[in-house]
Structure 1
Amino acid sequence: MQCSLRNTADDDGSNKEGGDDHDITIIHISDTHIAAADDRGARPQRDYDSRATFDLLCQRIADSGLRPDLIAVTGDICDAEHGERARQAYRHVGERLAAAGGRIGCPVAYSMGNHDERAAFRDVLLMQPALPGNATLSSGAKLSDETASSGDATPPMHAVSPGIVNTSPRTDRTDRTDIADTAALRGLRSDSRRSRPMEIRPSHPDDGVDYSFRLPTRAGELRVIVLDSSMPGRNDGSLSAQQLNWLARLLGDSAPAGSVLLMHHPPVRPYQFEARQWELDAASSANLAAVVRGSDIRAMLCGHVHLASAATFAGVPVSIAGACSRNQDPFWSRATTHSWDANHSVNLVLLRSTGHGTESLITPAPLAGGD
């Protein structure tokens, strides 16, 4: 059976025009592993083409007809690049997803992973336009490098908010920078939305990149929280007391439509035993559980293990997205890891409000196959 992201007439909510107005839909992407555009990448021994897979994914999203509320990318966005090479990789990802998100009227949020570089991430993706000038691309148009970076259409919408509140001590800037009004974003659906200003956790430039914003949806205002679980130079993950205290403060107030938490390392143990050497440390998982349990977090979105999965953690559903590079073969012995250039997918996360409460549906969407 061939699968794609294309919507059907009998969908149950992923298309806002045909579904339940109380549904919140998120396209969850992870581990894109994009290298700079040459053969001198940080890991030139790679036997996969994650750039081609990622570009296919963006085209599928743009052509899908879906009307999600958010595209979430949970780390390992570049492939262990540094400096300008990392910035080049981030620009490719940012421009392609901004173009795809602009086509379907959807903002994009990014989290750090263990193969990402914080300085380059801050420079490019933290302030990346999410609803770009080419939001008016007609259906079927290709997301070429030229159209993805075109600057002759409507003005950009910064990040996922009309302004940034920056509380980081690395700069004395605490003002709001207003940008183009959403009325200028012609071609988007009639419920084009503006999110609340972003809050960036105060930190040293070498510390994790953590931020939060609120996104209006038809189900109410959704809070999106992003934590950086990476540790430079290491593959395993950790969360500091400062990060957890900041998260606890945010969760002290509930958001009308609840919250989603993005972080690279899943707080649950990996399926493969060997992969546990790269997991989130036990103390961080235990402390995170104490903060998350009983909060308004409706789903956690993670990546890292290159194996599309779903789990629960402290009573919260966890979406673990597959990778655009190599993915784990779950039929291989659990005692080791075995990956191959296949099984590429993203997760579609559907948050529902029902007569008996709320529920979450996590659906892997394979990229293989055609129309």
Structure 2
Amino acid sequence: MLIAHLSDPHVRPRGQLYQGVVDSNAMFEAALAQLDALDPRPDLVLLTGDVVDEGTAEEYAVASQMLADIGLPLLVIPGNHDEREAFRACFKAHAHLPATGPLHFAVGEHGPVRIVALDVTPPGEHHGEFDDATAFWLEATLAAEPERPTLVMMHQPPFASGIPYIDDYSCRGGERLAAIIARHPQVERVLCGHIHRFMQLRFGGTMLLTAPSTTTAIALRLAPDAEPASYVEPPAMLLHQWRPGTGLVTHFVPIGRFAGPFDFF
């Protein structure tokens, strides 16, 4: 099973730049074009939040148009730049999304790997919160299929990355989440967005990965007093391939046109 993983496109109204600097819409279109050219085609696409930048109906209309032709099953969760009810209206055709409350869901019909999604953003806030209700839901949901390989997807990562100005907006309650994941060894990965960089670490006995944004990258500044900044680095996506006997292999895939292919390896 091949799963494409994109994050944080920050779609804007037509003709408007993200942060007044970059054309995030054009960059997302380039990512979708590269997704369309993959061979073999993915079985599933994951989008881990911040679909749009300001949560407006106009932005969601643009995002909906951009996503309409991907021709692949799509699972998407909101991030802190999304507005939950506008998000719910945009993706109303996604029958797995609950009609009210947090947009948690579990989906397993697209292949051998089950996807469990958490909506951890408190409305109006930028940080995440792994609260009591979410913990109860996740424990019960993972316990329902203990033998099936599973990915848990969420927006804010539940750990301190070392970049001080993004760690202020991480998901709180990470130790509690890690304890639940550790009780369910079928979880192959915890997948996040939000941080606009690729990172990986051991978490709850499995691997946690953050997908880069399809637009700007948060500056990798690790000094405790570092000033916030971003760069227009090459965007990228992740590809997760699950095979019996091997498990899940994750590939980092830059988005763009590069020299090659050459006849050496």
What is the TM-score normalised by the length of structure 2?
0.87
Distance between the aligned counterparts of 2:8 and 2:130, measured in 1? 19
Matches within 5 A, 1:331-350: 332-335=221-224, 336=226, 337-350=228-241
The alignment partner of 1:37 has SS state of coil
Q: Is the 8 A contact 1:308 1:321 kept in 2?
A: yes
Residue correspondence of structure 1 range 1-371 to structure 2 within 5 A: 24-39=1-16, 45-82=19-56, 84-95=57-68, 99-100=69-70, 102=71, 106-127=72-93, 159=94, 164=95, 198=96, 200=98, 205=100, 207-217=101-111, 220=112, 222-254=113-145, 257-281=148-172, 284-295=173-184, 296-330=186-220, 332-335=221-224, 336=226, 337-354=228-245, 359-370=247-258
Letter in 2 for 1:342: E
Q: Is the Cα contact below 8 Å between 2:187 and 2:206 reproduced in 1?
A: yes
Give every structure 1 segment of 4 or more consecutive aligned residues whose post-TM-superposition deviation is greater than 6 Å. none
**Normalization by structure 1: what TM-score?**
0.64
Task: Report how far residue 237 of structure 1 moved.
Answer: 0.8
Determine what percentage of the aligned residue pairs are the same residue: 23
Q: Which structure 2 residue ranges, 5 or more long, are not aligned?
A: 261-265
5+ residue gaps, structure 1: 1-23, 128-158, 165-197
Q: C-alpha separation between the residues in 1 aligned to 2:21 and 2:84?
A: 26
- Give 1:64 deviation, angstroms: 2.0
Residues 4 and 239 in structure 2, CA contact (< 8 A), matched pair in contact too = yes
Q: Match for residue 138 of structure 1? A: none
Q: How many residues align?
A: 256
Q: Are the structure 2 counterparts of residues 214 and 60 from structure 1 closer, same or farther at C-alpha, using a change threshold of 3 Å?
A: same
SS at match of 1:251: helix
Task: Give, in whole Å, the separation in 2 of the partners of 1:232 and 1:364.
Answer: 31
Cα distance, 1:255–1:214 mapped onto 2, change above 3 Å = farther
Give 1:267 shift.
1.7
- 2: distance between equivalents of 1:29 and 1:349? 11
Deviation at 1:67, TM superposition (A): 2.6
Amino acid paired to 1:363: H
Other structure's SS at 1:85 match:
helix
User: In terms of Rg, which structure is larger?
Assistant: 1
* Contact in 2 for aligned 1:343/1:366 (Cα 8 Å): yes
Partner Cα separation in structure 2 for residue 334 and residue 369 of structure 1:
33
Shift of 1:60: 1.0
Q: Are the structure 2 counterparts of residues 55 and 310 from structure 1 closer, same or farther at C-alpha, using a change threshold of 3 Å?
A: same
Tell me which residue corresponds to 1:142.
none
